[in-house]
Amino acid sequence: MPKSVVYNGCSVGENPLCCFDDLTQEECDFVEENSVEVEYKRGENICKQGSFASHIMVMKEGLAKIYLENGNDALILKILPAINMIGLPALFEGNNTFPYSVQTYMDSTVKQIEIGAFKKLIESNAKFAGQVISMLAENTVIINGRFFCLTKKQTYGRLADVLLCLSNRIYKTDKFPLQLTRKDLAELSSMSVESTTRILTKFKDEGLIAVHCNEIEILNADKLLEISAIG
């Protein structure tokens, strides 16, 4: 029997908006009639935890973090790259607020779809509804993996997970732009900025990564995977 693998990705999978491929032309027109595009600057809130959820949103361009807030404390649930949805948990009956906050890491473009119109598509198109359910299920797997990483892994394993996620699932290349600050990386890894900087330096000294002015390059992904597995 194969060994179970705990998935520790920090972001969503491939083609998360394939649900829209199952819409008819009439339904696509319906979406356009009930949506609007909004531009956000770096550091702006796309939505606030506890605020009224009037729209389901699609991140068309940019990068953001989804996080829970409690006073001055925050827990990042996942990173949201372009071509992903925001607000799906607000679809379930009895809830009309966002269960999390979303803030941009860079200038972003978001398409807001009126939530009532989105629900009508779910009710009228079974394939579309099935794809939405699949996305919600994947999000559950991602969040479970994140909690395992943050509660069971040591600092080296947590930062290795974040670097691998950025490389494999966000930018999809070994060399990617350093659009996240040391503080951002520290928040994702749930550690101090000082610890994050120290571990990055150690990874660099050991030849696992290269840090350029505006880029990080993964030089030894296998070793980072080993560090991640050991935790």
* Structure tokens that stand for 84 in this block: 């992903």
pLDDT at 130: 92
* Half-sphere exposure at residue 17, Cβ-oriented, CA atoms within 13 angstroms: 14
Q: Does residue 172 carry a pLDDT above 90? A: no
- The per-residue pLDDT for range 50-74, each reduced to its tens digit, is 999 999 999 999 999 999 998 888 8
Kindly report the CATH class assigned to 153-230: mainly alpha
Nearest-angstrom CA–CA distance, 19 and 198: 42
Burial of 35 by CB count in 10 Å (0-12 exposed, 13-18 middle, 19+ buried)? Answer: middle
Round the average pLDDT of the chain to a whole number and report it. Answer: 88
Q: In angstroms, how far is CA 178 from the centroid of its own chain? A: 16
pTM score of the predicted model = 0.83
Residues of the chain with pLDDT > 90, as a percent, come to: 58
pLDDT at 6: 40
Q: What is the DSSP letter of 2?
A: P
Is 79 in contact with 163 (CB distance < 8 Å)? no
Taking Cα atoms as reference points, which of 49, 109, 97, 55 lies closest to residue 75?
A: 49
> Which stretch of DSSP H or E encloses residue 130?
helix 126-152
pLDDT at 10: 59
Domain boundaries along the sequence of the chain: 18-147, 153-230
Q: In what order do the strands lie in the sheet with 55-61?
A: 35-40, 108-114, 55-61, 84-86
For the segment(s) 18-147, the CATH number from 3.30.1330.10, 1.25.40.10, 2.60.120.10, 2.60.40.10 is 2.60.120.10
